[in-house]
Amino acid sequence: MEKSVLDLRRLYRLPWSLADNAISWLEPTSACNLSCDGCYRKNEANSHKTVEEVTRELSIFRKMRNSDGISIAGGDPLLHPDITEIVSIISKMGFKPVINTNGILLSRELLRELKKAGTVGFTIHIDSKQGRPGWKGKNELELNELRLRYAEMLAEAGGMSCAFNSTVYDDTVSYTPDLVEWAGKHMDIVQVMVFILYRAATPQLNFNWYANGRKIGLEELQYSENNGRRIDLQSPEVVAKIRERFPEFTPCAFLNGTEKPDSFKWLLTGRIGYKDRVLGYVGPKHMESIQAMHHLLKGRYLAYCKPSYTAMGKTMLLLSPLDPRLRVISGRFLTSLLANPLKLFKNLYYQSIMIIQPVDFMENGAQNMCDGCPDVTVWNDKLVWSCRLEELKQFGCWVHSVPRVENNVNV
């Protein structure tokens, strides 16, 4: 797909910023029970933060950032012995706790406890390069069986949203239409699908790297690699791949890059349908109305919401006068009623599909970050990008690229 086909003027620019954002990112631990290929966090066994440290980070968020939800990530947060208490603290502070996990430790009993503590939803990371016990060698399509197990488990517990994350590589991007298709058959129990495009710090011929005035080797970083894999997959490529099977697939909103306003760093597509059939894709005015209304009524921008809200697809159609694409969905809904009037009593569900294009390395050595990054975390009482936290942990500052000069002055 040419970039021009994805025209930013036809998309709603999500209003999220550093100080006012739908989400913030909390890491109570860096420990993990998997070793995923594309992970950007160093797995440290004894890295659990104390409840006091976590509470302090939450108070920094409260002071510096108006936030609706807190993504509790890591590492795997379910490894933290006080995870239920942490969820409860987050909930009592007025944030929506959302747990990002690989799901391995998620039992029905723990799920009940976490729900009682106030968990609003789960984002479960499943992809084919996790080396997941019992699922090694399975491709993305085969892993849908595992995704369905978790979606059904969450639906059985009730009241919490179910999202799936997967890292997308050059050799797995062809599966994205399969995942979009699978999610479309489970609109009632899968609220969000997230595709995170693989990134790594890879040495560039024309640049040296410095931290605190010292030249460093990129291989010192957790997220470095030099084995020739593509680290520059772009969101429009994924959209083009999905459109080969679903020509109607059309994003409605985005976050741009800090260096490139026409890069689509967070690219959001929303769709409405019966529990097993997509009726159509919402347009930018729908998303603009939802974000503006939520901010007007609740004082915060919206990201995660409970299934009782996403099941209100029919109510969302009331916004049809504002949004031409919603009018198309309304037309199809009415046609389906003519064929079978009993469908009036069926729910329509809303589902999001997000494509995240993390750090882009620019030709001039700059890094194109997400403008209005939702995954900002706390480090030393400051708000920082979680995707580059290892630089701070290792060197105490961001790593900078410096162009090599021909006479080797800089080398």
Among 67, 71, 123, 386, binds ligand SF4 (CB under 6 A): 386
Q: Between 211 and 370, name the residue whose CB sits nearer to ligand SF4.
A: 370
Q: Between 326 and 373, name the residue whose CB sits nearer to ligand SF4.
A: 373
The count of chain residues that interact with ligand SF4, using the rule CB under 6 A, is 11
Residues in 257-316 at the binding interface with ligand SF4, rule: CB under 6 A: 265
- The DSSP code sequence of 55-117 is HHHHHHHHHH-EEEEEEE-SS-GGGSTTHHHHHHHHHHTTPEEEEEE-STT--HHHHHHHHHH
Give the span between the Cα atoms of 249 and 356, in whole angstroms: 16
Q: How many CB atoms lie within 10 A of CB 280?
A: 20
Burial label, 78 (beta-carbon count in 10 A; 0-12, 13-18, 19+): buried
> In the numeric block, which tokens belong to residue 366?
């700059």
Q: Between 28 and 280, name the residue whose CB sits nearer to ligand SF4.
A: 28
Residue in this structure with the two tokens 């399969």, named with its chain if needed: 178
Burial label, 411 (beta-carbon count in 10 A; 0-12, 13-18, 19+): exposed
Alpha carbon dihedral 244, 152, 77, 74, in 10-degree steps, equals 0
- Do 144 and 179 contact (CB within 8 A), yes or no? yes
Shortest reach from residue 190's CB to ligand SF4, in Å: 22
Shortest reach from residue 63's CB to ligand SF4, in Å: 20
Give the span between the Cα atoms of 204 and 143, in whole angstroms: 35
> In the numeric block, which tokens belong to residue 174?
């062809």
- Specify the stretch interacting with ligand SF4 by CB under 6 A; choose among 27-35, 117-125, 237-245, 383-391: 383-391
Among 183, 303, 387, 392, binds ligand SF4 (CB under 6 A): 387
Radius of gyration in angstroms for the set of CA atoms belonging to the chain, rounded to a whole number: 21
Q: Between 89 and 369, name the residue whose CB sits nearer to ligand SF4.
A: 369
- Specify the stretch interacting with ligand SF4 by CB under 6 A; choose among 62-70, 94-102, 343-351, 373-381: 373-381
For residues 167 to 206, the per-residue mask of contacts with ligand SF4, x marking binding by CB under 6 A and - elsewhere, is: ----------------------------------------
Q: Between 189 and 387, name the residue whose CB sits nearer to ligand SF4.
A: 387
Shortest reach from residue 376's CB to ligand SF4, in Å: 6
What is the edge-to-edge ordering of all strands in the sheet holding 214-216? 214-216, 207-211, 400-403
Q: Between 21 and 130, name the residue whose CB sits nearer to ligand SF4.
A: 21
- Specify the stretch interacting with ligand SF4 by CB under 6 A; choose among 143-151, 164-172, 327-335, 380-388: 380-388
List, as own/partner pairs, every contact residues 359-364 make where C-beta atoms lie below 8 angstroms and the sequence separation is at least 24, other chains included.
Answer: 359/199, 359/387, 359/388, 360/232, 360/257, 360/259, 360/260, 360/263, 361/202, 361/204, 361/231, 361/232, 361/401, 362/259, 362/260
Among 211, 374, 392, 399, binds ligand SF4 (CB under 6 A): 374
Residue in this structure with the two tokens 């030709």, named with its chain if needed: 363
Residue 385 binds to ligand SF4 (criterion: CB under 6 A): yes
Q: Between 253 and 326, name the residue whose CB sits nearer to ligand SF4.
A: 253
- Do 123 and 164 contact (CB within 8 A), yes or no? yes
- Do 264 and 245 contact (CB within 8 A), yes or no? no
- Specify the stretch interacting with ligand SF4 by CB under 6 A; choose among 85-93, 114-122, 128-136, 379-387: 379-387
Residues in 331-370 at the binding interface with ligand SF4, rule: CB under 6 A: 358-359, 369-370
For residues 227 to 266, the per-residue mask of contacts with ligand SF4, x marking binding by CB under 6 A and - elsewhere, is: --------------------------------------x-
- Do 269 and 31 contact (CB within 8 A), yes or no? no
Q: Between 61 and 349, name the residue whose CB sits nearer to ligand SF4.
A: 61
Q: Between 265 and 286, name the residue whose CB sits nearer to ligand SF4.
A: 265
Shortest reach from residue 13's CB to ligand SF4, in Å: 15
Residues that bind ligand SF4 (CB under 6 A): 265, 358-359, 369-370, 373-375, 385-387
